[in-house]
Amino acid sequence: MSNEQYNPNQPHQPGQQQGAQGQPPHYTQRVSYAPPPPPARRGRTGFWILAFLLAVSLVGNFLLLMAVMVLVRGGPSEGREQKLQEVVVESADTSKRIALLRIEGIIVEELSGRLTPSGADYEFVKKQVDQIIADERVKAVVVVVNSPGGGASASDMILKQLRRLRDERGLPVVVQMGSLAASGGYYVAMAGEYIFAQPTTITGSIGVVAQFFSLENLLSEKLGVETYIIESGERKTVGSPFRDMTQEEYGYLQETIVMPMYERFIEVIMEGRKSLDESELREVADGRIMNADQAKTLGLIDAVGFREDAIEYAKGRARLKEATIVQYQRQVGLLDVLGLSAGRAAPDMSISADTLQRMAAPRVLMQWMP
């Protein structure tokens, strides 16, 4: 069958079929027809599968976290003190040990914040001491000090703990000063019977400093806030951050707080360095810093050397030819990172009157403050 179209103006040609009753001939045209494709599915099945898997994962992780929190807070370990993790620094073919006790960073009574690797808080030092005393394999201790000092009370508390090593176990205690062992860092070093300092160690800074903040100008001139204080005695609010200090109050605080703690500092040094002459000590105990050679000349340390020298000396004092060297560190888990561990409060980020009071509270420090 021909596919050409019919043209009514074209005359009829022979051989073409005449339509009925004189109508134009009928032509049949074959047209190919394909049904339209079905609408494509837009991945709805895959979307719902992914959504389901995500929901299952979230629920599972939540349940796992809750289970871990229950175990940490209310499990069998609740009420029991968690031990520090023991790390072998140098292994030897013997069970006898020398412990490295680290005091690193600013000396404080307790940590604040969620994740603080500092090793100079009282709690961490006490745990190290407790663990060393309980371990009969430890025959000597090397106290590694790398600190500018810190709180006066915290330094005194840590010194008391370090003295337990000799008083309760009779352990030889050797101090090795790192890059910095000043003020309170030198104060705690007085627990050692022999002190090494690296050639580049900064030490000294013997003295006490008290810091008081005044918010009077900030409140009255900047914020327009007036503070009224009613006190039972004229010295009840000495050092208050809400008013300026008078010269008489300045002298009173120096006499009452700073100088007695300074005398305590001198007393502790004389107990730890019996060969020192007190009058010569007072001449250099004016807050000045010094290097290792100067400190050795003055008798504030015994030798210039590194940690290996301190360890070898400790071996000799413990009569050991070889020893396994160990140290201790906190066990930090996921909950510590998240601030959810038991007994560890999240830092207070709110700005309240109580927060301002704590920020402005006076601080008495044995700390090198360049």
* % of the chain exceeding 90 in pLDDT: 54
Examine the pLDDT at 342 and tell me if it is beyond 50.
Answer: no
First-to-last C-alpha distance (Å) of the chain: 108
pLDDT at 136 over 60: yes
pLDDT tens digits, one per residue of 30-76: 555 566 666 555 556 767 777 777 887 887 777 777 665 555 444 44
Average pLDDT of the segment spanning 324-346: 65
Q: What's the pLDDT at 218?
A: 74
**CA gap 221, 30 in Å, rounded:** 99
Q: Which of 168, 103, 161 is nearest to 135 (CA)?
A: 168
Strand partners, 174: 142, 194
The residue type found at 169 is R
pLDDT tens sequence across 65-89: 766 555 544 444 444 457 899 999 9
Per the annotation, the verdict on 127 as an active-site residue is no
- Higher per-residue pLDDT: 200 or 234: 200
- Among 118, 147, 155, 183, the one annotated catalytic: 183
Predicted confidence (pLDDT) at residue 120 exceeds the cutoff of 60: yes
pLDDT beyond 50 at 115:
no
pLDDT level of residue 160 (50, 70, 90 thresholds): very high
- Of the residues 57, 77, 179, 236, which is catalytic? 236
Is residue 183 annotated as part of the catalytic site, yes or no?
yes
DSSP letters for 233-256: STTTTTT-TTSPPPHHHHHHHIII
The beta-carbon contacts of 160-169 under 8 Å, at least 24 apart in sequence, are 161/122, 161/125, 161/126, 161/129, 162/101, 162/125, 162/129, 162/188, 162/191, 163/191, 164/129, 164/133, 165/129, 165/132, 165/133, 165/141, 165/191, 166/191, 166/193, 168/133, 169/132, 169/133
Is the pLDDT confidence value at 337 over 50? no
For range 345-350, the mean pLDDT: 49
Q: What angle do CA 328, 334, 339 make, to 5 degrees?
A: 95
Q: What is this structure's pTM?
A: 0.73
Distance CA 327, CA 99 (A): 6
- Name the DSSP class of 258: I
CA dist., res. 205 & res. 292, Å (int): 13
The reported pLDDT for the residue numbered 233 is 85
Is residue 367 predicted with pLDDT exceeding 70?
A: yes
